[in-house]
Amino acid sequence: MNPENLHLQQAIQKVFLQVSTALENLEPEQYILPSTCLFNATIGQHVRHIIELFIELEEGYKTGTVNYEKRKRDYLIETDKNFAIALLNRIQNDMLHPDKSLLLEAGYKDDSDELIIMETNYYRELAYNLEHTVHHMAMIRIGINELSSVAVDESFGIASSTIKYRSTCAQ
């Protein structure tokens, strides 16, 4: 395994562990309860969104084309925290691929199905998904704080660049 993949894999494993630990400590009702701070979205919906982007990337790795808009939107992921935890564990084990060129399909017009196609690669998309996960973890943290007394890691939902910056400021 090359250093780039190992670095990304370890970073993703860290955030997935943080998410899994938080979910294990939540009551099932808290996982599916709408949060007013999240515009009535649930923690489960944010977790589903994270998971489905990684699943779509894995499918795209096989076909050579990634299109995050075509993800399945599996209701079970957003309603069953144990199923979500199992998927997080599976995804960690499945991302041991070498880098390769991919195409990214996306449609950015609300009133059209027109797609644009861009060149990308597997590691770039892993990095995107990592950053995307941290972003959603920040929202999940808000939901957890509103709906439960579960304590999360102090770095939960905070980008590594912010953690490094805060560390230099504290010295």
**At 63, which CATH number?**
1.20.120
| Residue 37 confidence class, pLDDT cut points 50, 70, 90 | very high
Domain span holding position 74: 3-170
Q: Cα(24)–Cα(51) distance, rounded to whole angstroms?
A: 16
Name the H helices within 64-121. Answer: 75-79, 81-94
The average pLDDT across 125-134 equals 97
**Helix and strand totals (H; E) in the chain:** 7, 3
Sheet holding 116-121, edge to edge: 65-66, 101-106, 116-121
Is the pLDDT assigned to residue 3 strictly greater than 80? no
* 17-26, 47-56, 153-162: least confidently modelled range: 153-162
Is the pLDDT assigned to residue 1 strictly greater than 70? no
What would the two tokens of residue 133 be? Answer: 């996960």
Q: Cα(157)–Cα(152) distance, rounded to whole angstroms?
A: 9
For the CA atoms of 107, 108, 113, 114, what is the dihedral angle to 10 degrees?
-70
pLDDT at 89: 96
pLDDT at 31: 98
Look at the chain and report how many structural domains it folds into: 1
pLDDT at 163: 86
- Mean of all residue pLDDT scores within the chain: 94
93-127: per-residue pLDDT in tens? 888 899 999 999 999 888 888 999 999 999 999 99
The residue type at 40: N
pLDDT at 171: 73
Nearest to 29 by CA among 64, 102, 81: 81
49-67: per-residue pLDDT in tens? 999 999 999 999 999 999 9
